[in-house]
Amino acid sequence: MRPDNDVLAEVVEMLTEVVGEDFLLEQEVGPDTAFNADLGLESIEFVALAERLQRRYGRRIEFAAFIAGMDLDQIMNMTVGDLTAHISARLAAPAEDAPAPDAAPDAVPAPGAASAPAAPAAYA
């Protein structure tokens, strides 16, 4: 699948935020740009990119599962095009194939509200 140009532009923008605009002025980033060989992305920068992807696209893109399905060589040789093609495919997937959106934080009971007693330790 050919990556969506909008997704590519968003990923390049996120990369700019992660590695800095000055660095990317020297490097044209496109679908064939390798995260490791071309950009020299460090693991901490890759984590920062993953966090931005999560904020932008949510759980629907299943980024962790995408990476978990790769061996070390595939991760080391992954290109911007590999990532954007994955994102585009997940965004195009029918909603029923996508995971549920991030759950709302646990509700905090109102002051004075009754709560169910905890189960005895023997039953927990």
Tens-place pLDDT, residues 64-108: 899 999 999 999 999 999 999 999 999 998 865 545 544 444 444
pTM comes to: 0.71
d(CA 87, CA 17): 19
> Residue 114: what pLDDT?
47
Q: Can you give the length of the chain in residues?
A: 124
d(CA 112, CA 10): 47
- Asked whether the predicted pLDDT for residue 12 surpasses 80, the reply is yes
Which has the closest alpha carbon to 78: 49, 122, 38, 112? Answer: 38
- Tens digit of pLDDT for each residue in 26-48? 778 999 999 999 998 998 999 99
> Residue 107: what pLDDT?
41
To the nearest 10 degrees (0 to 180), the angle between helices 43-57 and 80-92 is 20
To the nearest 10 degrees (0 to 180), the angle between helices 5-19 and 80-92 is 130
d(CA 86, CA 97): 14
d(CA 104, CA 118): 23
> Residue 26: what pLDDT?
74
d(CA 61, CA 54): 8
Higher per-residue confidence, 84 vs 122: 84
- Asked whether the predicted pLDDT for residue 52 surpasses 80, the reply is yes
> Residue 27: what pLDDT?
79
Q: Hey, which CATH number is domain 5-94, 1.10.1200.10, 3.40.30.10, 3.90.1150.10, 3.30.9.10?
A: 1.10.1200.10
Least confidently predicted of 12-16, 79-83, 107-111, 119-123: 107-111
